[in-house]
Amino acid sequence: MKRKVVLAGGSGFLGQALADHLKRRGYTAVILTRGSSADKNGITYVHWDGRTLDDSWVREIDGSYAIVNFTGKSVNCLYTKKNREEIIASRLDSVSILKEAVRKSSAPPQAFIQAGSLAIFGDTADVCDEDAAHGDGFSVSVCQQWEEAFFSETLPKTRQVMLRIGFALGKGGGALGPLQMLARYGLGGPIGSGRQYISWLHMEDLNAMFMESIENEDYKGIFNATGTGPVTNKEFMRVLRKVMNKGWAPPAPATLVKLGAYMIMRADPSLALTGRNCIPKKLLHQGFKFKYTNLEAALRDLM
């Protein structure tokens, strides 16, 4: 039988990319989604609500090889009281209910991988490995609660891995799309000060990190899932314009970014104006081999 990997909340950009990767590797991918149950392009979709047990999805956990949890309301929104509550609840509820499903399994998965965030380090230019001090603010608090919930208890037969994912670059969506759009229309200059760091990685490397976490028994605990060469926003936009054959573009002042975020994008401006300079110390210690360590090469591959 093919090994089955359950992707909770895997209908988004990262989850779909991993599902396709798993399929190519000979795995069966099952996505738990708030949408309708269906079979599409060799991937099974099973409805769940992310917070309550139901036999229709719990039976997918029993006998599976691994779980990867992507569930969580997008942070690409205004941080109203309601949105803040939903951002936190969607993460904590899904972790709790998935752990309960694992405990109830007669044949529990051997690995539970949680997709987390580098936002736990806050807004900093200091180099951050896994042991660096955490920052402050709402996003940091969300990540801290998330990680505490995930590791609050061990699962006797299931390894637990938290991947703090950086700025993942892939084709057809994700974090790169909006920046490409800006550059395409001559607005690809530095955003805000341009000094905020972008800890980027290529989607191929991210999928490889997921596979190592799924298959390698030495992977346990927290890993910074990011590339080896973080760059400033100014440098990122310069390289992006170069790859897209675009010339100089004016900077976007912080005041303009805030106005556009609130009035047009309906998102918190901190998503664009803050950054972090993170390195994958533990992945390198494990001997992980990156395919893309040069930003220009990564962007040319994607475009």
pLDDT value at position 130?
98
pLDDT value at position 194?
95
> Is the Cβ–Cβ distance between 8 and 47 less than 8 Å?
no
* 135 belongs to a structural domain: yes
CB contact set of 290 (below 8 Å; sequence gap of 6+): 201, 205, 227, 228
CB contact set of 4 (below 8 Å; sequence gap of 6+): 27, 28, 29, 30, 60, 63, 64, 65
**Sorting pLDDT into bands at 50, 70 and 90, what band is 276?**
very high
* 46 belongs to a structural domain: yes
Report whether pLDDT(105) > 80.
Answer: yes
Domain residues for the domain of 132 are 4-166+202-226+278-290
Q: What is the pLDDT of residues 145-182, one digit of tens each?
A: 999 999 999 999 999 999 999 999 999 888 898 899 88
* 179 belongs to a structural domain: no
pLDDT averaged over every residue in the chain: 95
pTM across the whole model? 0.96
* 273 belongs to a structural domain: no
Q: How many domains does the chain have?
A: 1
By residue count, the chain amounts to 303
**Sorting pLDDT into bands at 50, 70 and 90, what band is 1?**
low
> Is the Cβ–Cβ distance between 226 and 278 less than 8 Å?
yes
Longest dimension (CA), the chain: 60
Domain CATH number, residue 284:
3.40.50.720
Share of the chain above pLDDT 90, in %: 85
Task: Determine the Cα–Cα distance for residues 149 and 90; give it in Å rounded to an integer.
Answer: 12
Structure tokens at 152: 């609050």
For residues 235-258, average pLDDT:
93
DSSP letter string over 179-202? HHHHHHTT--S-BTTS-SEE-EEE
Which CA distances in Å does 57 have to 22, 32, 98? 19, 7, 10
Return the higher-pLDDT residue of 270 and 100: 100
* 262 belongs to a structural domain: no
> Which residue reads 């539970």 in tokens?
112
Report whether pLDDT(186) > 70.
Answer: yes
For residues 216-221, average pLDDT:
97
Which CA distances in Å does 236 have to 147, 189, 195, 232, 298? 29, 10, 10, 6, 12
> Is the Cβ–Cβ distance between 251 and 190 less than 8 Å?
yes
Give 51's DSSP letter: S
* 82 belongs to a structural domain: yes
* 194 belongs to a structural domain: no
Structure tokens at 296: 């220009």
Structure tokens at 6: 């359950």
* 124 belongs to a structural domain: yes
Q: What is the pLDDT of residues 46-81, one digit of tens each?
A: 999 999 999 999 999 999 999 999 999 999 999 999
Lowest mean pLDDT among 30-34, 99-103, 205-209, 262-266: 262-266
Q: What is the pLDDT of residues 277-289, one digit of tens each?
A: 999 999 999 999 9
